[in-house]
Amino acid sequence: MSSNPHSVLFCCDYNAVRSPMAEGIMKKFYGSRIYVQSAGVKNELDIDGFSVAVCEEIGVPLGRHRTRSFQEMEEWGDRIDAYDLIVALSPAAMRQAQEYTRYHAIDVEYWPTFDPTGLGEDRAAKLAAYRQARDQIEGRIRARFGPPDAEAEEAVG
């Protein structure tokens, strides 16, 4: 395991499914130690209701999340080059993250992550697909950043 950064930016295509899940889980587990945000390549969607539902199951509230793109973050004064690590969860996000490494010393990791959107015939099947993505993200976070803060572990465990 490499050393933990002080700030992490998770990113995916729209900041509506995978990256908000990662941001929420990361904040719950390490929020007192690591500054965390998320962004999308684009911002054309609202937070996905299935993402909200499956994260609520593990005590991670996403209902108040507002989607944002890289461009919007910069327009609002959040400097992307100030993050120690960008974790890209989709190919498009990886390409966008790599653009920042052309001019700034930012570490970028690519975590190809299952995209649950459009899967499942009914609500139960859709929830199962979103749980799979959530669990994949949680597993990668635990593997990369180590044991969660004790209070977070008790709340999820």
Comparing C-alpha atoms, which of 155, 116, 154 is closest to residue 135? 116
State pLDDT tens for residues 60-103: 999 888 999 999 988 988 888 889 999 999 999 999 999 888 88
In a 3-state reduction of DSSP, which class is residue 114?
coil
Place of tokens 């587990």: 29
Decide if 17 is inside a domain.
yes
- Output the domain CATH number for residue 98: 3.40.50.2300
- One DSSP character per residue, 117-137 reads TT--SSHHHHHHHHHHHHHHH
The number of distinct structural domains making up the chain is: 1
State pLDDT tens for residues 32-55: 889 999 999 998 778 999 999 999
Q: What's the order of all strands across the beta sheet hosting 35-40?
A: 35-40, 7-12, 85-88, 107-110
Range of the domain at 47: 7-156
Residue 35 · residue 62 · CB < 8 Å: no
Handedness of CA 138, 111, 107, 8 (dihedral sign): negative
Decide if 115 is inside a domain.
yes
Decide if 148 is inside a domain.
yes
Whether the per-residue pLDDT at 2 is higher than 60: the answer is: no
pLDDT band at 153 (very low <50, low <70, confident <90, very high): low
Decide if 1 is inside a domain.
no
In a 3-state reduction of DSSP, which class is residue 10?
strand
Decide if 2 is inside a domain.
no
Decide if 105 is inside a domain.
yes
- What does the DSSP 8-state code read for residue 3? P
Decide if 23 is inside a domain.
yes
Q: What does pTM read for this prediction?
A: 0.90
State pLDDT tens for residues 117-150: 988 889 999 999 999 999 999 999 999 999 887 6
Decide if 58 is inside a domain.
yes
109: phi then psi, degrees, rounded to nearest 5: -120, 140
